[in-house]
Amino acid sequence: MIPIWVGMFDVTGPEDNAMLKGDAGAWLWIAAQAEDSAKFETRVQYAMRDLGLQVQDKENLQEVINEGDLPEEVWK
């Protein structure tokens, strides 16, 4: 089974990007299946590119071992 990873990503895009609604950027919690953190980061970059966004930074990349250990912000 491929593990699930979560992390916070700082994304930016053009002013007219519908996802950002005029904001310069946003920090997003993102979850996806990936074999390791590098492949998770690559998946996120491709997904954000498809949405017209660019990943600028990342924080708190972690494999989900125990759902109870995830930060409260992830659940929101």
Spatial strand order of the sheet with 25-33 comes to 25-33, 4-12, 54-63
Number of domain units in the chain: 1
4 CB contacts (<8 Å, ≥6 apart)?
Answer: 31, 32, 33, 63, 64
pLDDT tens per residue across span 9-38: 999 888 888 888 777 888 999 999 999 999
User: The domain containing residue 36 runs over which residues?
Assistant: 4-57
In a domain, 76, yes or no: no
Q: Please say whether the beta carbons of 73 and 27 come within 8 A.
A: no
The pLDDT, as a whole number, for residue 76 is 66
In a domain, 47, yes or no: yes
In a domain, 23, yes or no: yes
In a domain, 33, yes or no: yes
In a domain, 44, yes or no: yes
φ, ψ for residue 48, nearest 5 deg: -70, -40
Decide: helix, strand or coil at residue 17. Answer: coil
The pLDDT, as a whole number, for residue 73 is 72
In a domain, 38, yes or no: yes
The pLDDT, as a whole number, for residue 13 is 87
In a domain, 39, yes or no: yes
In the predicted model, what is the mean pLDDT of residues 42-47? 96
Q: Label residue 54 by pLDDT band (50, 70, 90).
A: very high
Say what the pTM is: 0.83
In a domain, 53, yes or no: yes
